[in-house]
Structure 1
Amino acid sequence: MTLRTFLEDLVLFYNHFSLYYLLVINAVNTVLFVLAVRGIRQYRKKRKNWPYQKMISSIHVPPVSILVPCYNEEKTIVDNVESLLSIEYSEFEILVVNDGSQDHSLKKLILAFDLKKLDSPYKKEIPTAKVRGIYQSASRPRLKVVDKENGGKADALNAGINICRYPLFTAIDADSILEKSSLMKVIRPFIDEPDKVAVTGGIVRVVNGSKIHEGFIEEVGLSRKPLAIFQTIEYLRAFLFGRMGWSELDSLLIVSGAFGVFRKSIVLQVGGYTHDTIGEDMELILKIHRHLLEEKKDYRIVFVPDPVCWTQAPEDVRSLRGQRIRWHRGLMDSLLNNRGMLFRPKYGVVGMLALPYYWLIEMIGPIIEILGYVSVLASYFLGLLHVEFALIYFTFAVLYGIFLSLTSVMLEEYNFMKYEKVSDYLLMALYAVLENFGYRQWTTWWRFRAFFGYRRRKNSWGKVQRQVFTEGAAESP
């Protein structure tokens, strides 16, 4: 066998393999899409009968602790806390955990909220870095600030879990803003099924382009910066289609660190957040799944599509690249740490379907996609490229992706209508098409690099560039 013959056989094999791989992906995604549409329709019906105004003052609504990990967040932390203090909820507390910030985050909080240091002992149920002090706001009694030595985001959250008072807690990123009714909506499953629900998660949307005043969104708008628009489409697709679908199968593996509510007792049972991973959000959900399945508990981890947390999206290539590389390495951390659940019937749908999907499609997918592009080029130079095969591949690799993105935009418009301008929806529809011609390949390449640059327990979050929440559109200056 000559080298050319070997290469031709290899390329032809991979071309057929990648086509079948795409068919499997699209079949699974179609099932998730159908489940997501069904779940959103059921949610809309339930929402009509939910008396939110009565629930706000109801004694049946459980109190909640809001944890805000903070590291060098001086640009956004005061606006973030102001918005949280004004949410529509009967009983809650806010714990900002300053994780050894090197900027003026703590100083700004002390000045803005008249903080006084307390002599307040607490039970250290989860080991953390040293807590240097606990502060209480004299003007806003719901607010406490925990100052501690730097230990990372997971360590900061664990410190907050140790100190918080209430049976439920939510973790909110310091660059995020909640809508006033969001917490009330995401808590609802705990009220409906108090003995069953372990975790709930809400939808996270891109705030870039919206008008913000004193920590509140006055007008939802779409950024005019291409990178931010592409990410807006990604967020809609990931939450309204992906997480909604997995939630319908009771096998949701990711609850965003920007907006999730947890039952504190269960989190303590699994040892809190894992500190030696950058995928602490997914890692915690997998630990909860594993623990409750091994205990043979009847439980639910629920995605709620309506409550919204608004977060800043990177607007420069360097920040976006770093974010996607971190995300993929965090995914790998969580999957490798919990590999013992893979294809184990005792872990139900999580072990037999959800985890294989994340291993074979989310983690390995970028490698297969990049090699697919290489294979197509090799086919061309070897004279093996057939027009019919190329069209079929294009249909399943690109047109189906466009379909999913466009339907996510339509689901948003039909069910939630957050954007007021028709031009915003038209622009999102355009970018739902454009993202498949360059942007998607770009992010796939970064995930490809992340896979081969992965070193277990040797990854870090790095620095994230924040922008100030201003009274105008939330854009970079």
Structure 2
Amino acid sequence: MTLANIFTTLLIIFTSFVAVYLIGIILFYLILFIISAVQLRKEHNIDQFEQYEEIVDSSFSPPVSILVPAFNEETGIVPSVRSLLSINYPGFEVVVINDGSKDGTLQTVIDSFSMVKVEKTIRKMVSSKDIKHVYQSTLYENLYLVDKVNGGKADALNAGINVAHYPYFCSLDGDSIIERDAFAKVMKPIIDSKQEVIAVGGSVRIANGCDIERGEVMKVALSKSPLVVMQVIEYLRAFLMGRIGLSRHNLLLIISGAFGVFHRESVVQVNGYRTNTVGEDMDLVVRLHRFAKEENSGKRIVYVPDPVCWTEAPESLRILRRQRSRWHRGLFESLWYNKKMLLNPRYGLVGMISMPYFFIVEFLGPVIELIGYILMILAPFISGFYTSFAFMLFLLAVIYGSLLSMSAVLLEEWSLRRYPKVMDLVRLYFYSLSEAFWFRPMTVLWRVEGIIQLLKGNRGWGEMSRKGVSK
């Protein structure tokens, strides 16, 4: 056999492997789609607020500490806090944690809400950098501001856990806008389960393009930026397809750092957020699963599709690239720190399904996809390598990237219907069909770049500048 024949044979083997891999992923997501569709249909009318009136009106609903870590969030922090202070829930406090901001975040909050220093004994239940001062608003007695030494988002959340007064806490990004009824809905599984549920994730949607005034979404609309529209589609696929399906069988490993509620004592038992990773939100959820399995406590972590938090998405390729590379590094760190769970029957379906899925599909997936793209490009130029193989890969890539995204848009229209304009839905359909041709390959490259950064030892967050989404 000649060297050329050997090379061609190896290419066919690699192509076959990539094809089988993509078919496996498509089938897996098809199963998730069916599970999610059935679940959404069951809860089709659950967003009618009458079902949550008892929670809102009851003095027995567990109070929540809303933790808002803020680093250089001067442009969006005030409207975000305003939106939190107006939520429809009986007992809550808002704790803004200024993590050594270099802009005017601290003074902006102090001036906007008439904050004054208070003497407060802080019980250090989890490790964090030193707290300089604690402030309380003279306008809102349930609003606090913590000024601390810079230590990163995870460290800021740990400081907030130490300062918080209530048994449950919610982690929110500093630029987030929360819907008024979101807490009643996200707390319902906790109340109904009698503390069996120790963490709940809510939906995160993209605020770019929406009409937002004084911390409230007045009108939902799509951004004019194609880059932002593609991120909207990504979020729909991740939340409506991925997380609903995984949550149904207690397989959820990610609760977005932008909006999640946790049982504080359980988080303290796993020593709070890990500060040496850029994926602190996923790492915490994995460790909570690990603790629940080791204690055989039967505790669960769930996702609720309707409670919505609106957040700002990157509008530039440079910032989006940094975000996706960082997310991929965080994914690996979460898997690596908890590698004893991988394929370990002791950890049930989490160890046998969730961990392998996130390692093989989510972490290694971009490398395999990149190989597939390279094979598609080289196929016409390689003698003896059938272009039908390349065409097969192309079709599978379109199904994986575009048609699955289109399915997520269908779920959105079929169930929650957040976008009232017909033209917005048309744009979502059009862009979802185009994903495999430009956006997917681009994010694959960025995620592979994240792996390269891991090998180089890059652990930083990178700059994440924001314009602010509220007026």
TM category, shorter:
over 0.9
- Residues 1:254 and 2:262 are matched in the alignment: no
Q: Does structure 2 retain, via aligned residues, the 8 Å contact 1:376–1:385?
A: no
- Quick one: distance in 2 between partners of 1:453 and 1:97? 29
| Structure 1 position 208, deviation (Å) | 0.5
Matching of residues 341-352 of structure 1 within 5 Å: 341-352=341-352
List runs of 5+ in structure 2 lacking aligned partners: none
| Structure 1 position 391, deviation (Å) | 3.6
| Structure 1 position 380, deviation (Å) | 2.2
CA separation of 1:331/1:456 partners in 2, compared to 1, >3 Å: closer, same or farther?
farther
| Structure 1 position 194, deviation (Å) | 1.7
| Structure 1 position 373, deviation (Å) | 1.7
| Structure 1 position 38, deviation (Å) | 1.7
Greater CA deviation, 81-90 or 454-463? Answer: 454-463
- Quick one: distance in 1 between partners of 2:148 and 2:183? 27
Match of 1:317 in 2: 317
Match of 1:475 in 2: none
CA separation of 1:190/1:294 partners in 2, compared to 1, >3 Å: closer, same or farther?
same
Match of 1:222 in 2: 222
- Residues 1:279 and 2:279 are matched in the alignment: yes
Calculate the aligned-residue CA RMSD, in Å: 1.5
- Quick one: distance in 2 between partners of 1:183 and 1:237? 23
Q: Does structure 2 retain, via aligned residues, the 8 Å contact 1:135–1:146?
A: yes
| Structure 1 position 435, deviation (Å) | 1.5
Match of 2:417 in 1: 417
Match of 2:289 in 1: 289
Match of 1:77 in 2: 77
- Quick one: distance in 2 between partners of 1:456 and 1:11? 29
The secondary structure found in structure 1 opposite 2:450 is helix
Match of 2:205 in 1: 205
- Quick one: distance in 2 between partners of 1:89 and 1:378? 58
TM-score where L is the length of structure 1: 0.96
Aligned-partner residue type, residue 450 of structure 2: A
| Structure 1 position 402, deviation (Å) | 2.1
Q: Does structure 2 retain, via aligned residues, the 8 Å contact 1:36–1:245?
A: yes
Aligned-partner residue type, residue 81 of structure 1: V
The secondary structure found in structure 2 opposite 1:419 is coil
Greater CA deviation, 377-386 or 32-41? Answer: 377-386
- Residues 1:20 and 2:20 are matched in the alignment: yes
CA separation of 1:384/1:365 partners in 2, compared to 1, >3 Å: closer, same or farther?
farther
Q: Does structure 2 retain, via aligned residues, the 8 Å contact 1:115–1:137?
A: yes
| Structure 1 position 40, deviation (Å) | 1.4
Q: Deviations over 1:232-262 (max 9, x none)?
A: 0000001000111110121100000000000
| Structure 1 position 48, deviation (Å) | 5.5
- Quick one: distance in 2 between partners of 1:2 and 1:198? 61
- Quick one: distance in 2 between partners of 1:402 and 1:321? 20
Match of 2:32 in 1: 32
List runs of 5+ in structure 1 lacking aligned partners: 472-477
- Quick one: distance in 2 between partners of 1:131 and 1:49? 39
- Quick one: distance in 1 between partners of 2:124 and 2:295? 25
The secondary structure found in structure 1 opposite 2:43 is helix
Aligned-partner residue type, residue 426 of structure 1: V
- Aligned positions, number: 471
Greater CA deviation, 32-41 or 116-125? Answer: 32-41
- Residues 1:51 and 2:19 are matched in the alignment: no
The secondary structure found in structure 1 opposite 2:224 is coil
The secondary structure found in structure 2 opposite 1:274 is coil
The secondary structure found in structure 2 opposite 1:44 is coil
Aligned-partner residue type, residue 205 of structure 2: R
Q: Does structure 2 retain, via aligned residues, the 8 Å contact 1:32–1:241?
A: yes
- Quick one: distance in 1 between partners of 2:187 and 2:277? 28
The secondary structure found in structure 1 opposite 2:58 is coil
Aligned-partner residue type, residue 444 of structure 2: T
% of aligned pairs identical? 43
The secondary structure found in structure 2 opposite 1:453 is helix
Greater CA deviation, 41-50 or 175-184? Answer: 41-50
The secondary structure found in structure 1 opposite 2:454 is coil
Match of 2:401 in 1: 401
Match of 1:183 in 2: 183
- Quick one: distance in 2 between partners of 1:453 and 1:10? 29
| Structure 1 position 376, deviation (Å) | 2.8
Q: Deviations over 1:153-189 (max 9, x none)?
A: 0000000001101000000000110011111111110
| Structure 1 position 47, deviation (Å) | 4.9
Match of 1:466 in 2: 466
Match of 1:152 in 2: 152
Match of 2:238 in 1: 238
Q: Does structure 2 retain, via aligned residues, the 8 Å contact 1:132–1:147?
A: yes
- Quick one: distance in 1 between partners of 2:355 and 2:216? 38
Match of 2:448 in 1: 448
Aligned-partner residue type, residue 434 of structure 1: S
Aligned-partner residue type, residue 215 of structure 1: G
Q: Deviations over 1:388-426 (max 9, x none)?
A: 433432222213432211121111112111111111000
Greater CA deviation, 398-407 or 409-418? Answer: 398-407
Match of 2:131 in 1: 131
TM-score where L is the length of structure 2: 0.97
- Quick one: distance in 2 between partners of 1:102 and 1:256? 25
Aligned-partner residue type, residue 341 of structure 2: M
Aligned-partner residue type, residue 195 of structure 1: Q
| Structure 1 position 50, deviation (Å) | 5.3
Q: Deviations over 1:198-225 (max 9, x none)?
A: 1000010110000011111110110011
Q: Does structure 1 retain, via aligned residues, the 8 Å contact 2:379–2:387?
A: no
Q: Does structure 1 retain, via aligned residues, the 8 Å contact 2:47–2:306?
A: no
The secondary structure found in structure 2 opposite 1:32 is helix
Q: Does structure 1 retain, via aligned residues, the 8 Å contact 2:203–2:239?
A: yes
Q: Does structure 1 retain, via aligned residues, the 8 Å contact 2:208–2:469?
A: no
